[in-house]
């Protein structure tokens, strides 16, 4: 093991003689507005298969993207021309590689200090009209994971979009599928409300109940979609989100519009475990609400404040309806965790805390995961599970696991990585991880150095 605690050393040999698992995974997530790349380095340790998996967040940093790099990429995206997909794909893949190298340089890490890179796929955030061209515009050799693995020398895992289909949980965001692992408690019944474009509610039974620890989750419909649509409208697409709730905090809520929305939108006022974005919010609803606010002479800040309240009230309503429908009589949630982009909006958070006083509401920071690092941590865990399953089963292809589907591009130490996992598993399929112990609390400001490429 080298000076950074990695499995690998520069000369390609390994000194990790025992059979315990010890890997470092770098979760890499591009910001939606392409102003930064979030990097979080996570160490996973496990004494033996079936034992508790321990997780330590070693370093979190944001690599800022300079405007001269950001501007031409955003221009290509805003043109919405599918013919630009190959250029976009190549540029963004190189961007991830550059961010990883910058992260390593800023924190004095050699590439051998990272065993796996986990990155979101291009499809995860490009406009929908681009997506049919993602598989036809370039071959697998030029795909993101191969570009990043080639340029960094580190095994790279990406394209997690198939996770929800493999798990049989259609309509649930892939990044939400990991809640039960991170949040399972020995005795407490927890719930996790993931607030993204749509919201997802997950009940996580305690270990004390026994059984297979299966979580119960479904879409609850409307999430940040209204807020994001209004932000794009008022900024001509320059901003995707109301960062830190700044716009909403400056506005005055129009309660008549809020009440009118819930009276007329019966499609969101019921429990529907099979719901999808299209089923819960017609495509023209955001623009109708924006137009109504503009007709009344409301400012852009008043509009965002009003749409934020609609979002918060819908989350409250769905939480109450679903807990009543799916929990046994007298059963209560001990702790409700909020995650996703919406959990970083103080206006949503304060409303939910005041409207659900009987519920202990927390965020992932409370268990040692900084909110801004959340997606990177989840990506890292998905990548770990993918590689563990693929290597341990030694199926015909190592590029897909049986539990978490993703694409793997082997790095220069792939053989050592496979050997390490095979020694750990003794050649047997590894049981799925159902709980993680976070070894230390990680300060939100730790590792923030305003890094630039």
CB 191 within 8 A of CB 334: no
Q: How confident is the model at residue 278 (pLDDT cuts 50, 70, 90)?
A: very low
Residue 17 has pLDDT above 80, yes or no: no
Task: Report the half-sphere exposure of 120 (CA within 13 A, side-chain side).
Answer: 21
CB 126 within 8 A of CB 74: no
What is the rounded CA–CA span in Å between residue 1 and residue 22? 10
Residue 137 has pLDDT above 50, yes or no: no
Q: Residue 154: exposed, middle, or buried by beta-carbon count in 10 A (0-12, 13-18, 19+)? A: buried
Q: Considering the entire predicted model, what is its pTM?
A: 0.75
Domain boundaries defined on the chain: 21-166+372-452, 186-333
Task: Return the structure tokens found at 210.
Answer: 């026994």
Per-residue pLDDT reduced to its tens digit, 370-420: 777 888 898 899 899 889 888 866 543 444 444 556 788 999 999 999 999
Q: How confident is the model at residue 164 (pLDDT cuts 50, 70, 90)?
A: very low
Beta strands in 33-102 (DSSP E): 36-46, 53-64
Task: Judge whether 21-166+372-452 and 186-333 match in fold.
Answer: yes
Per-residue pLDDT reduced to its tens digit, 20-58: 999 999 999 876 667 788 899 999 999 999 888 999 999
Q: Does CATH number 3.30.1490.20 belong to domain 21-166+372-452? A: no
**Torsion on CA atoms 28, 31, 32, 35, rounded to nearest 10:** -140
> What is the Cα gyration radius of the chain?
22
pLDDT at 216: 67
Greatest Cα pair distance in the chain? 71
pLDDT at 168: 46
Q: Say which residues have a Cβ less than 8 Å from residue 42's Cβ, sequence separation at least 6.
A: 24, 25, 26, 27, 55, 56, 57, 58, 376, 377, 380, 381
Q: What number does CATH give the domain 186-333?
A: 3.30.420.40
- Percent of the chain having pLDDT more than 90? 36
Q: How confident is the model at residue 433 (pLDDT cuts 50, 70, 90)?
A: confident
């Amino acid at each position: 093991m080298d000076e950074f605690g990695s499995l690998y050393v520069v000369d390609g040999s390994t000194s990790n003689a025992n059979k315990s698992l010890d890997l470092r995974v770098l979760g890499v997530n591009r910001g939606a507005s392409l102003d930064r790349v979030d990097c979080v380095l996570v160490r996973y340790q496990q004494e033996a298969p079936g034992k508790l998996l321990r997780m330590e967040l070693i370093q979190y940093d944001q690599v800022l993207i300079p405007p001269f790099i950001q501007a031409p990429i955003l221009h290509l995206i805003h043109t919405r021309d599918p013919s630009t997909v190959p250029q976009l794909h190549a540029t963004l893949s190189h961007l991830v590689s550059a961010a990883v190298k910058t992260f390593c340089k800023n924190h004095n890490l050699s590439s051998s200090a990272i065993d796996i890179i986990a990155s979101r796929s291009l499809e995860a955030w490009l406009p929908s009209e681009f997506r049919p061209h993602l598989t036809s515009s370039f071959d697998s050799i030029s795909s993101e994971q191969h570009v990043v693995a080639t340029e960094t020398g580190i095994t790279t895992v990406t394209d997690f979009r198939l996770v929800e289909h493999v798990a049989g949980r259609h309509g649930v965001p892939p990044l939400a599928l990991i809640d039960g692992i991170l949040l399972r408690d020995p005795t407490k019944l927890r719930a996790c409300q993931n607030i993204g474009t749509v919201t997802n509610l997950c009940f996580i039974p305690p270990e004390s109940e026994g059984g297979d620890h299966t979580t119960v989750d479904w879409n609850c419909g409307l999430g940040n979609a209204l807020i994001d649509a209004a932000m794009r409208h008022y900024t001509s697409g320059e901003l995707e989100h109301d960062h830190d709730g700044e716009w909403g905090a400056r506005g005055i809520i129009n309660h008549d519009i809020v009440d009118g929305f819930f009276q007329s939108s019966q499609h969101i006022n019921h429990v529907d475990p099979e719901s999808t974005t299209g089923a819960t919010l017609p495509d023209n609803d955001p623009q109708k609400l924006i137009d109504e606010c503009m007709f009344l002479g409301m400012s852009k800040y008043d509009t965002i404040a009003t749409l934020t309240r609609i979002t918060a009230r819908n989350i409250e309503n769905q939480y109450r309806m679903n807990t009543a429908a799916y929990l046994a009589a007298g059963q209560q949630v001990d702790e409700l965790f909020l995650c996703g982009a919406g959990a970083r909006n103080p206006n949503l958070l304060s409303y939910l805390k005041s409207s659900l006083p009987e519920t202990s509401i927390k965020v992932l920071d409370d268990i040692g995961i900084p909110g801004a690092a959340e997606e990177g941590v989840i990506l890292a865990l998905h990548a770990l599970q993918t590689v563990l399953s693929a290597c341990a089963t030694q199926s015909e292809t190592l590029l897909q696991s049986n539990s978490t589907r993703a694409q793997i591009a082997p790095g220069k130490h792939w053989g050592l990585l496979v050997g390490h996992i095979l020694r750990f598993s003794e050649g047997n399929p590894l049981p799925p991880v159902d709980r993680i112990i976070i070894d230390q609390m990680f300060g939100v400001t730790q590792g923030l150095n305003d890094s630039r490429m």
